[in-house]
């Protein structure tokens, strides 16, 4: 078992630690006395998002020699693997890049871990592995059935982890995130191609977009828009810390158990920001599940993890404070104001 030693003897290597969830995860692990290294190629992440207390290694996971050298030199007790491609629509246009980025790169990392003698991984997975779930809320007994290459690539890597456990004795914990949201005081959400609802809504409040686009108003939900489970990024980071305590391979869903529609999110953001936030309806996207809400009972029972942020307005407010402080993101390039009407 990897123990949560307050004296800092635990060493963790975080792939994708310059990204949104990765940056907050690194911050939380460091705040709890762990020594942290970050591997990122900065294709999507930001160097400015890497906590200065962490060691940083820039490179690509497909480079087995590079990864092996990092693992051999840093000698972590565990790897937190967050590096991935994660845009559903893009995966439908370019599936090959998703199987390369999420499966081949993961295999490269696993091979390097085996060579370096590192036998524990905390894996950043996704609720997209469930596809159109057969019941709500979704617990881990719901059969995975992904409906896009993104979800398929994540499930494929989970299956690979099962074989590495059987053959090499790898211990892994797969964390299936629902919708990450919010920010810490220092680190927030800054994607080069922003597709997530809450930051796009807040960009409207900041005057960087004219309106927020809503895809579909005839879904089988109360107001016709999709319902999602929004879990705070700090709570996700804490789940990784809890998962480091596992001494057997497990799979856990991470959410709050509450679902909010797109229109409810926009209305909550109006209350938080004090801005009108106009919207424009667009045709619904093929394969977009009407409702995705997590059951996180397993991780609560087995590890004691429960989300600290349960109110939507509170989650949005943390994101709003960060975006107000960083209206142009990490690199100061800003988001070009665009016409959406």
Residue 281: per-residue pLDDT: 97
Average pLDDT score over residue span 174-202: 96
Considering the four listed CATH numbers 3.30.70.2740, 3.90.25.10, 3.90.1170.50, 1.10.1060.10, the one that applies to the domain covering 197-228+258-325 is: 3.90.25.10
Residue 146: per-residue pLDDT: 95
Look at residue 220 and tell me whether its pLDDT is greater than 50: yes
CA dist list (Å): 67 to 10, 102, 172, 279, 293: 19, 16, 18, 45, 36
Look at residue 225 and tell me whether its pLDDT is greater than 70: yes
Q: Among residues 20, 98, 123, 150, which one is catalytic?
A: 150
> Torsions phi, psi of 22, nearest 5?
-60, -40
Q: How far is it, in rounded angstroms, from Cα 240 to Cα 26? A: 10
> Torsions phi, psi of 39, nearest 5?
-115, 125
Look at residue 267 and tell me whether its pLDDT is greater than 90: yes
Residue 319 C-beta-side C-alpha neighbours within 13 Å:
32
In this structure, which topology does domain 11-181+231-254 adopt according to CATH? Rossmann fold (3.40.50)
Average pLDDT score over residue span 227-249: 97
User: In the structure, what pLDDT confidence band is assigned to residue 88 with cuts at 50, 70 and 90?
Assistant: confident
To the query of whether residue 150 is one of the catalytic residues in this protein, the response is yes
Average pLDDT score over residue span 98-116: 97
3-state secondary structure at position 253: strand
Task: Say whether 197-228+258-325 and 11-181+231-254 share the same fold.
Answer: no
Look at residue 2 and tell me whether its pLDDT is greater than 90: no
Q: How far is CA 114 from the centre of its chain?
A: 25
Q: How far is CA 143 from the centre of its chain?
A: 21
Residue 286: per-residue pLDDT: 73
What is the reported pTM? 0.93
Computed over every residue of the chain, the mean pLDDT equals: 93
Q: Is the peptide bond before 64 cis (omega within 30 degrees of 0)?
A: no
Average pLDDT score over residue span 186-209: 95
Residue 201: per-residue pLDDT: 98
Q: How far is CA 142 from the centre of its chain?
A: 21
Residue 331: per-residue pLDDT: 74
CA dist list (Å): 226 to 178, 230, 288, 290, 314: 14, 12, 8, 5, 21
Residue 339: per-residue pLDDT: 32
Residue 332: per-residue pLDDT: 64
Average pLDDT score over residue span 302-318: 97
Residue 196: per-residue pLDDT: 94
- What is the separation, in whole angstroms, between the first and last Cα of the chain? 55
Instruction: Map out the domains of the chain as residue ranges.
Output: 11-181+231-254, 197-228+258-325
Average pLDDT score over residue span 230-258: 97
User: In the structure, what pLDDT confidence band is assigned to residue 147 with cuts at 50, 70 and 90?
Assistant: very high
């Amino acid at each position: 078992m990897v123990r949560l030693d307050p004296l800092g003897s635990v060493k963790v290597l975080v792939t994708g630690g310059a990204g949104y969830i990765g940056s907050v995860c690194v911050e939380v692990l460091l705040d709890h006395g762990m020594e942290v290294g970050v591997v990122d190629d900065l294709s999507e992440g930001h160097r400015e998002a890497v906590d200065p207390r962490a060691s940083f290694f820039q490179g690509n996971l497909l480079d087995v020699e590079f990864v092996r050298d990092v693992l051999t030199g840093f000698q972590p007790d565990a790897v937190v693997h967050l590096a991935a491609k994660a845009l559903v629509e893009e995966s439908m246009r370019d599936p090959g890049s998703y199987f390369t980025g999420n499966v081949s790169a993961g295999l490269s990392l696993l091979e390097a871990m085996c060579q370096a003698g590192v036998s524990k991984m905390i894996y950043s997975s996704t609720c997209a592995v469930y596809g159109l779930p057969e019941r709500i809320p979704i617990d881990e007994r719901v059969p995975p059935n992904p409906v896009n290459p993104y979800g398929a690539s994540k499930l494929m890597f989970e299956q690979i982890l099962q074989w590495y456990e059987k053959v090499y004795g790898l211990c892994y914990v797969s964390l299936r995130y629902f919708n990450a949201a919010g920010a810490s005081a220092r680190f927030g959400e800054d994607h080069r191609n922003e597709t997530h609802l809450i930051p796009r809504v807040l960009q409207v409040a900041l005057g960087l977009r004219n309106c927020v686009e809503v895809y579909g108003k005839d879904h089988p939900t109360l107001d016709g828009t999709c319902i999602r489970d929004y879990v705070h990024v700090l709570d996700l980071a804490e789940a990784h810390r809890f998962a480091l305590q596992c001494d057997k391979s497990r799979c856990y869903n991470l959410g709050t158990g509450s679902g909010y529609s797109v229109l409810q999110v926009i209305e909550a953001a109006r209350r938080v920001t004090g801005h009108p936030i106009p919207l424009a309806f667009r045709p619904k996207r093929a394969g977009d599940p009407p409702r995705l809400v997590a059951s996180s009972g397993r991780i609560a029972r087995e590890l004691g993890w429960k989300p600290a942020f349960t109110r939507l307005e509170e989650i949005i407010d943390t994101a709003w404070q960060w975006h107000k402080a960083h209206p142009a993101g990490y690199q100061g390039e800003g988001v070009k104001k665009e016409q959406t009407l």
